[in-house]
Every structure is written in C-alpha cells, then in structure tokens.
Amino acid sequence: MTPPDVRWDLGELAACGGHSTLEPDAAALRLRALAFARAHQGTINDLDFGELRGLLDERDAQADELGRLESLARLKFAADANAPGAAEQQELAARLGAFVASATAFLDRELCRLPREKAQAVLDAPVLAAHRHALAKLLAQAPYRPGQEREAALAALEITDRQRLITRWASLTAGLRIGTRALPLSRTISRLASKNRLWRARAAADLARALAPHREELASIQAGLLDLEQKAARARNLPHRLALADIAEESPGKTRVSVLAAMRRVSPLVARYFRLKKKLLGLTQLETHDINAPVPNLPRFTFEKASSLVLQSFAGVSPAFGEAARAILSNARVDAFPRPGKQTGAFCLTPPGCRLPFLFLNFSGTWRDAAILAHECGHGIHQALSSGLNASARQAAPALAEAVAFFAELAFFQLLLRRTRSPATRLALLCARIEDELTSAPRQAAIFTYEENIRGLFAAKGELAARDLDATWMTAHSDVYGKSVRLTDDYRSLWAVAPHSVVIPGYVRHYPTALCLARGMWRSRTAAPGRFAATLEAVCACGSCQPLTELAMLMGLDIASPALYQSAMEDLAELIREAEDEAHRSQG
Ligand SMILES: [Zn+2]
C-alpha cells in the first residue's frame, strides 16, 4: 500500500501575512527601501535614541517583508524546481535581497562611524534593548569596514564574481551523470551507503571517473574563490579570514582552538569504533566506501512511525517542545517524500510572521531519515519559540541553532534505544548514533582543517591545482581515520563534492562545537530534567537577543572551556563501549 502523500499547503503562508505572488510586493518593497534611504541617509549621528529605535524597527520590518517574499520563492522552488516561474522567482528574490541590502546599508555604515562615546551610549540605551546584541555585533565589526566606495566594490565582487564561480561549481556537480546508468550525484551518494559492498565500491569508482574531466576546472574555481576572499580580507584589514564571520556568528577563535584540539585527540576512538564496524560487516579491511555502509539490523521507519517517535521524544524534553512538535507535524507544513523535480536535502524554514515552520524532507524510511526529521523539528521548535522577536534578534547563532537540532536528534535516539529490547537492533542503533557523531564532529573538523590548509597553500603559491586539493583532502582525512580505514584512490577527489567549503567557507567549524554543546545539554538535562526544560525553552525563545556564551552559561555550559569538548568525547567513548558490550552480548 502506498502511504498517503504528505505535502505542505503554501496557502498557509497567507495565514501568517505572506504573499501568493512576488512581483507587485517586490516592487513595493523596493520603493519602501529607497524612500527609507532618501529620508534618513546622513542623519544617524543626529538622531536621539527613540528616533534611532524607529529606524531600526523599520529596517527589521523591511527585512521581514523581504523574508516573506524569499520564503515564498524558496518553498516553491524546493518543492518543484521545474514549476513554471519557480527558478525566475528565486532569482527575483535574490536580486531584491541585494537591492534592499544596498539601499539600507547606510544605516550600519553610519552606526559604525559614531564617535566612541555615542556608540557606547547607543549600546546602553534602554529604549534600544531589543536591538542591543545585534548592535554590539555590528559595532565590533566597525574596525574592518572599509570606506563606502570600497564596501560597494566588495559587495559587487561578492554578487557578481563570487556568485558566478559558485553557480559554475553547482552546475558542474549537479550536471554530473555518473556510471553506466548516468545517475545524478544525489543517487550516487546514496549508493555509497548501500548494503551491497560491490555497489558501494562501484559508486565510489564511478564518481571519481565522472569528476576526472572537471577536476582542474573545479580546482581553479576554488582558487578563484580564495583569491576573492583574500582581496576582501586585505581591503578590510582582517587579522584572519574568519575575523568578521567570527563576530557575526559568535564563534570566538579561542573556542575553535579548544574544539579542534579535542577533535584531534579523538582518532584512537575512531579506530576503536571502526574495528568494531569491520567485525560487524565481516570484512578484513575497511575502505573509504565502507564508511557509510549500514550496519546490519538497523530498523526502518514509516513516516507516521518516525513522526510519532519524534513527538514522544520531544514531549519527554519539555511540554512546550511536545506541543510545538505536534503543531508542526499536524499542520500541512511538511513536504515529506522525494519525487521527481523536488530538490534533495532537508531544511526547516519559518517565514517571518509565521509561528510555525515549514519542514522540507526527502524521507525514504532509513534511520538517517528519521534522525533528520528529529533534527529539522528541533530547528523548527527553536524557530517557533523565537518567532515573536524582531528580525535582527530572531536568528540564533549557528552553533546554538545546530546544538538544539543535535539535541533533538539525541533525545530521539535515547527514546528509541530505551524502547528497544533486541540486542541486535540495540547494537545497530548504537552504531548508527556513533557514526552520526563521528560525522558531525571529527569529520567536520577535518573538513575545516582541509579548508584552512588549502588557504595556506593558495596564499603561498598563488594558485591551486587539483593534485594540491587531493593531497590536502587526503591528509586531513587520514588524520581522522588513521590506519582503521584505507583511503582509496577514488576518495582523493571528493573535495569536489563538499559544497560547504565552496558556498559557505568556514561554516563547518560550527558542527563540532554544536555537537559538543548538545552533549553538554543532555548532561544538564539528565542532572535536572525539570529545571533544564524551563531553561531550554527560555534559551530558544531568546533567539540571539543575548550572546551565545551567556545563553550556553544559562544551561550550565562554558563554551570557552576545553572541558566541555573533552566531556563530549568521553560521552562518545562511553557510547562506543556500550556498542562493544552489546556486540559481545549478541555474539554470546
Ligand atoms: Zn541543522
């Protein structure tokens, strides 16, 4: 029997003040942004705090209007990229975003030029409290803002050159037709997780062969992006390439050092786990195409079953989490299954004005699909709880947003494990969870190290060839896997399908931090479930109205302390020990 289709109803957008078409409202927003600039450009230093509050609120209102239009375009395109006008609307929304950003840029520019005492008074003004944290981040970026013309030139480079390179990269990889069956990249990647070893090995070899003719072009695109990044960093006088992103994303360099150090110490654990996996798969040597091989006896899920388990696990975390999950999963806000024309991947999006998010999934019944449902619901609840805030305070810092989603995955896993009696299934669940943690933490740290090292190489040589990227990619991964997994030759060019490094360089640094935070949150919850539930709800409802360090501290976690990362890795060691014991039991 085919399950009932689960698709969202975009008519729901109208219920939260959204739009059904883009064009007339886009034109109105352009005019509104222009009028705003005409009326207020050059006046910021002369405003009193109440007037400044009015301007910041108006800019947030414009950001919300833009967000509603972008949401409409994004949701339509994701659900059916070939629908008439879907691609054009995406482009229109992107151009609109660039227009509004450039028309209203004067506000940030002039705020950054305020005399020191006035800037401090702005931060202290009670009437500006709702904008305080966003203003603090903006003012911290002031030393790196070049003059107006330079800023405009950099923005133009960003919109034209960088976007052109990224689009070329995306079309090269999306256009790959792999193997004798000419499969697209997404299908080939899922074959790398197939039960059949021969299929996995063939998928890996086919992918490498399909990438071969494009490798040098992909390497030159990567070099082109690094060149633009270097120019921007020089123009802004950045001490290092992530200086601006670190401020905006609240990811202090000190934290990064602690996280990466903890991840570097993890390779003996990785080796221990892969020894177990090798035994479970009955192999004498693991190769890179075995990393994602499913362990035997992993359960499968219908969407209804997975949803019901997610609901129960969230209700166990806190009443508000349970209620929000129920509302999300029963409100025509989910597009659940893959189908032709639908984009790959998963995301959660809460259009401004809506109290509930839209969930986009490609659920096919695997363990990973069920965990992704929990993850996206975690994002959804976080967004739902902070939906009442103004635009500049709504979006949580990436490390915290991902931590809440990882925490949701962990709650789902713990519920399932508690309810599973069969030793073989328990073992499979433990292994799947360990692999998720290894992928989220040490592997993402390795990809971050790869990014850093290719930057260093480009800075030294002024160019990059595919073989430079190969070597850097392999070194970063052999640091994680050591001798436990043989890195096959066809693994070399997989840097070419690591989109984060190209589209949002540096972003992967948040994942290890987030996983360790989620682990810490689970510890705090275990120690005092009731108190933790109330704190978690308050933290989620705050969005980014307070600094990440303070929000983490409310949950009893010090993100600057190496101990947080150390204990997360101890939890992982404990999980591996449990899996080893369970393996022992099932064999005994
Ligand atoms: Zn996420």
> Could you tell me the pTM of the whole model?
0.93
H/E element, 402: helix 398-419
Spatial neighbors of 401 by CB under 8 A, at least 6 apart, are: 379, 382, 395, 514
Complete domains list, the chain, with CATH: 12-143 (1.20.140.70), 144-299+420-588 (1.10.1370.30)
Q: Are strands 347-349 and 358-360 parallel, antiparallel or unpaired?
A: antiparallel
Question: Roughly what angle, to the nearest 10 degrees, separates helices 367-385 and 319-329?
Answer: 110
CA of 272 to the centre of ligand 1 (A): 28
Q: Contact 365/328 with Cβ under 8 angstroms?
A: no
DSSP 492: G
CA of 282 to the centre of ligand 1 (A): 33
Q: Contact 67/18 with Cβ under 8 angstroms?
A: no
CA of 384 to the centre of ligand 1 (A): 15
In angstroms, the CA 481 to CA 268 distance is: 9
CA of 404 to the centre of ligand 1 (A): 9
> Any long-range contacts for 274-282 (C-beta under 8 Å, 24+ apart)?
274/481, 274/484, 274/485, 275/484, 276/431, 276/576, 276/579, 276/580, 276/583, 277/431, 278/484, 279/583, 280/427, 280/431, 280/583, 281/197
CA of 350 to the centre of ligand 1 (A): 14
CA of 266 to the centre of ligand 1 (A): 23
pLDDT tens string, the chain, 588 residues long: the values are: 445 688 888 887 777 776 667 777 899 999 999 999 999 999 999 999 999 999 999 999 999 999 999 898 889 888 887 788 888 888 888 889 889 988 999 999 999 999 999 999 999 999 999 999 999 999 999 988 877 777 777 777 777 788 889 888 888 888 889 999 998 888 888 899 999 999 999 999 999 999 999 999 999 999 999 999 998 888 888 888 888 889 989 888 888 889 999 998 899 999 999 999 999 999 999 999 999 999 999 999 999 999 999 999 999 999 999 999 999 998 788 999 988 777 878 999 999 999 899 999 989 899 999 999 999 999 999 999 999 999 999 999 999 999 999 999 999 999 999 999 999 999 999 999 999 999 999 999 999 999 999 999 999 999 999 999 999 999 999 999 999 999 999 999 999 988 888 888 999 999 999 999 999 999 999 999 999 999 999 999 999 999 999 999 999 999 999 999 999 999 999 999 999 999 988 775
CA of 345 to the centre of ligand 1 (A): 11
